[in-house]
Amino acid sequence: MKRTLLALGLCSLLFACKKSSTDDDPGNNPGNNPSGPALSATDVQHDMAAGKTTYYFTVSGVNNPALTVPAAGTGQTWNFSTLPTTLRDTTVLSPVPPVGSGFPAGAFYSSEKRVYGTGANTQSITVLTYQEVSASGWLHLARALPAFILAYPGIGELEYEAQLPNYTPALPMTPPFPVRLNDSVNINTTITENAKADAPGAGLTNAPTAQRTTYTGKVKAIATGTVTLPGYAAPLNALVLRRDLTIRENYFLNGAPASPLLLQALGLTDGETFTATYYDFYNYGGVGYLGTIVAQGSAVSWARFRRAN
């Protein structure tokens, strides 16, 4: 997926409204077992909270038969004990000051590098994602960008001011807690990042531009069972959430849809989409988030799981 001129876009998820236990009737709970395994906010807060540091490894789905798309249902067994753990990274969560920030007490942020621009004209930018874990679920609240300039030789440049756009509404990683088998939440949210364009040949000077990213889909608890990860002495009980996610990018110039000719010159298409399915593993009654398998269609693209340290 591209991050480009008139702003940017990439992946995550989002929060829509009501928790439901069927696809068709959000107010009905048949099939949801109140006595079955439940993932709580406390479970997820074990690692997803300010001041926490968690260690992960990432593996490719190419030529890796141990990685498969998780089946739905109860009593599942997932054995990932043979996955290589050589490609490692660390997630550090920092507190968001609650006073005057507009964010709830207990909010935190993580940092990641994202690529902005197209072709040979790209930059790696540090982006902060503001989050919270509460009774409403694990939610992404906003995304902070620093000030930076993207130069396009022979065309012009885009200037981004430091900004903190909100996900509207908040983007969920889970349904509201507690989460049991078949609980779900719909995804329908947007985030908009703004910049100013200077392109002398097109008669543009400090022209306002925007990239609006729209997330649609669903998060649903589809399976329970046990998962075995490298370095752990015993299997962990697990609840799997399936996130079906489509991301659409739209570009604007001077408050109107950007010209197709301009977008074509930059290698962009208004309304372009990216679709993937994320299978998130959670240890209920324990350490919470364990990791994710990412699939496009029936093929696994990659996976990322927590290390035992």
Does residue 80 surpass a pLDDT of 60?
yes
More confident residue, 230 or 261: 230
Residue 5 lies in a domain: no
Residue 6 lies in a domain: no
pTM exceeds 0.85 for this model: yes
Residue 40 lies in a domain: yes
More confident residue, 120 or 75: 75
Q: What is the residue type of 306?
A: R
Q: What is the pLDDT of residue 118?
A: 83
Does residue 235 surpass a pLDDT of 80?
yes
Q: What is the pLDDT of residue 100?
A: 61
Residue 1 lies in a domain: no
Residue 7 lies in a domain: no
- In terms of DSSP bridges, do strands 137-144 and 166-172 run parallel, antiparallel, or are they unpaired? antiparallel
- Check residue 102 and report its DSSP letter: S
The span from the CA of 238 to the CA of 43, in Å, is: 12
The span from the CA of 264 to the CA of 240, in Å, is: 40
Q: What is the pLDDT of residue 267?
A: 78
Cβ atoms of 13 and 215 within 8 Å: the answer is: yes
Q: What is the pLDDT of residue 34?
A: 62
The span from the CA of 303 to the CA of 130, in Å, is: 23
- Among the residue ranges 16-30, 183-197, 210-224, 287-301, the one predicted with the least confidence is 16-30
pLDDT (average), residues 140-162: 93
Residue 93: name the closest of 289, 241, 244, 284 by CA: 289
Cβ atoms of 270 and 6 within 8 Å: the answer is: no
The span from the CA of 131 to the CA of 47, in Å, is: 13
- Mean residue pLDDT of the chain comes to 87
Q: What is the pLDDT of residue 91?
A: 93
The span from the CA of 137 to the CA of 189, in Å, is: 15
Q: What percent of the chain has pLDDT over 70?
A: 87
Q: What is the pLDDT of residue 265?
A: 78
Does residue 3 surpass a pLDDT of 50?
no
Cβ atoms of 195 and 209 within 8 Å: the answer is: yes
Q: What is the pLDDT of residue 8?
A: 32
Give whole-number Cα distances, 245 to 22, 71, 298, in Å: 18, 18, 15
Domain count, the chain: 1
Per-residue burial over 185-220, b = 16 or more CB atoms within 10 Å of its CB, e = otherwise: bbbebbbbbbbbbbbeebebeebebbbbbbbbbbbb
Residue 223 lies in a domain: yes
The span from the CA of 214 to the CA of 270, in Å, is: 12
Does residue 26 surpass a pLDDT of 50?
no
Residue 171: name the closest of 15, 11, 10 by CA: 15
Residue 185: name the closest of 132, 239, 238, 242 by CA: 242
> Structural domain of residue 161, as residue ranges?
19-28+35-306
Residue 191: name the closest of 257, 143, 246 by CA: 143
The span from the CA of 309 to the CA of 298, in Å, is: 31
Taking CA 186 as the corner, what is the angle to CA 284 and CA 258, rounded to the nearest 5 degrees? 130
The span from the CA of 28 to the CA of 20, in Å, is: 7
The span from the CA of 124 to the CA of 8, in Å, is: 12
pLDDT (average), residues 262-273: 87
Which pair of tokens denotes residue 185? 């939440």
- In terms of DSSP bridges, do strands 73-79 and 204-228 run parallel, antiparallel, or are they unpaired? parallel
- Among the residue ranges 57-71, 178-192, 253-267, 283-297, the one predicted with the least confidence is 253-267
Which pair of tokens denotes residue 289? 């988030």
- Among the residue ranges 9-18, 207-216, 252-261, the one predicted with the least confidence is 9-18
3-state class of 131 per DSSP? strand
- 95 prior amide bond cis, ω within 30: no
Q: What is the pLDDT of residue 117?
A: 87
